[in-house]
Structure 1
């Protein structure tokens, strides 16, 4: 069996930061691409992390404010909650309640199907006395804030990353055009003998 050298023998050792080193074969576009890659990665990582953290904290603050401001209120059904043919366990029904200031309010709330008029149910209201959903727990808020933070961070990081890829692709096309131009000039001289 014949021994075949590995491809790394032909490629040579990997040289780190070669685009910044002095080298007669280094083109201006190589150095420009190196700076673009460095800038894109810095902006991608820093922008993604900072935007993700900011979004996470913003969502956590908003949900904490909801937990602090929204209050449960006892409301009474203003009509019967009919049993549905579809077998749904909860249906929308008109309810009435009295706000903390003594004013009367009415709205729609989901209650158990088959409930009778006058049945007491718990609804949640905001500062103005308007119906809201039940606020999320602290652990649910942390999960929701983390998910929003990750999504925002990835979205923000994608912008400079994609922009950098587009710029690098244009540089690569420009380099290939320069190679084609050089081959057109020197290709015909390739087979000539000198001397």
Structure 2
């Protein structure tokens, strides 16, 4: 089969053909619309999410300030995880708010630290203790992940809507074929008998 014949078979719904029904042409337009919306919607939804998430991470980083806090109590070494970097426990710390007032709160700190040791904590403009903001690399990875998820969600919704419309079109075609068979079928039965 040459390329021209292959293209003709691929796009048969678009060509004039006495066997082509109106529903075939409608289905061809639906498929074209679904794939166009899939590509454009998936890409634009994903990119919009990436930009929005990146802006949110930048704003979050800008709102927080690092402050040196002091441990109020010793943080013992955890015997089960001795020697691991991820070994952190909640501990009470004391720091100074932007207005100069003393504050205390709990945050995760590395184990094996003595009372009075300085640790870096993050506070907002009101002096409330917050978790550390994501680094630019972590923020970029999270934004990309969210963008991919959003793009996939848009693709799934568009494909589901397209499948539902095509399913409805198939049911309509089957009903039409059933009505036509009720008209033509009895005539065939008499000839065969």
What is the alpha-carbon distance in structure 2 between the residues aligned to residue 181 and residue 117 of structure 1?
Answer: 86
| Equivalent residue runs for 1:26-45 within 5 Å | 26-45=20-39
Mapped to 1, the partners of 2:78 and 2:134 lie a distance apart of 28
Match of 1:62 in 2: 56
Using the TM superposition, name which of 55-64 and 12-21 deviates more. 12-21
Structure with the bigger percentage of helix: 2
Distance 1:129 1:170 in 2: 59
Residues 15-24 or 29-38, more deviating:
15-24
Distance 2:147 2:127 in 1: 31
Match of 2:149 in 1: 151
1:24 offset after TM fit, Å? Answer: 2.3
The separation in 2 between residues aligned to 1:129 and 1:155, in whole angstroms, is 38
What is the total number of aligned residue pairs between the two structures? 183
User: How many Å separate the matches in 2 of 1:111 and 1:63?
Assistant: 23
Q: Structure 2: where are the runs of 5+ without partners?
A: none
Q: 2:138 aligns with which of 140, 144, 148?
A: 140
RMSD: 2.3
Q: For residues 61 and 75 of structure 1, what CA distance do their matches in structure 2 show?
A: 29
* Bigger shift: residues 178-187 or 98-107: 178-187
Alignment partners' CA distance in 1, 2:114 and 2:74:
5
**Which blocks of at least 5 consecutive residues in structure 1 are unaligned?**
1-7
Q: Would you say 1:183 and 2:177 are equivalent positions?
A: no
Partner of 2:169: 171
In structure 1, C-alpha distance between the alignment counterparts of 2:158 and 2:43, rounded to whole Å: 13
Q: Which of residues 58, 69, 72 in structure 2 aligns to 1:75?
A: 69
Per-residue deviation, residues 154-182 of structure 1 (Å, max 9, x unmatched): 11222121011011011112212222332
CA distances 1:126-185 after superposition (whole Å, capped 9, x unpaired): 222222222222222221111111101111222121011011011112212222332232
Q: TM-score with structure 1 length normalisation?
A: 0.81
